[in-house]
Amino acid sequence: MAARPRVGVTGNARRWAPAWWCTSLALRLGGAVPERVSVRHPPSGKPLDALVIGGGNDIGPEHYDGDIDAKVRLDPERDLLEIEWIKRAISERIPVLGICRGAQLINVVLGGNLHQDIRSLRVKTNNRPGLLPTKRVRLEAESEIARICGTLVIRVNSLHHQAVDNPGDGIKAVGWDRDEIVQAIKSEAGRPIIGVQWHPEYLFYLPSQLALFRWLLAQAKQ
């Protein structure tokens, strides 16, 4: 019997962490062994076959030349921890799924920047946060993420007020909301990296969303 892939899941260090529990469940449904990684949850040392960079607080603006005086909720220790994991994943070709903040941080690590606050850019899409799939996202035709999700238009949830602005080195935008704000990215450099601006861990009951985790595990087994 083949060993189950081991997947590191980064996130906040709080005991009550719904994103961790939902991501863990989605990965277990795909046959993986999830391992929590945070500033209070050191890695076990066992090799990781894939990595999920989870959502959460804003990224420190010093990492992408943002406004350091802006009022944002930061977690500097987590920033540094996840930056190192992303760099390691890129170096060792470990498959990565970035979720919300995670997608943004992947972009930042590769030299891109962010819209520090998208609220003023919203015209056709409201800013009310929600866990239900009420927002419409258009995926690039013939893109890998469209193939994974099985659709060119997908309904997603939305919990963010920041987003990818200029893509980083080797990063391509492949999904947009109705205001043309980036909602999905992928690596063009042959690296198994996908990032989504929404939270598929809270939508794992939908086949199109669970498919993102199944893609990660398929990449881990290659």
Residue that the structure tokens 């977690």 belong to:
75
Q: Are 97 and 201 in contact (CB under 8 A)?
A: no
82, 100, 115, 160: which one is catalytic?
100
* Residue of 179, 147, 149, 148 whose CA lies nearest to 163: 179
| E strand or H helix that includes residue 10 | strand 6-10
Could you confirm whether 199 is annotated as catalytic?
yes
82, 149, 160, 201: which one is catalytic?
201
HEC string of 29-74?
HCCCEEEEEECCECCCCCCCCEEEECCCCECCHHHCCCCCCCCCCE
10-40 in b/e burial notation, b at 16+ Cβ within 10 A? bbbbeeebebbebbbebbeebebebbbbbee
Could you confirm whether 100 is annotated as catalytic?
yes
Could you confirm whether 62 is annotated as catalytic?
no
How many residues are recorded in the chain? 222
List active site positions.
100, 199, 201
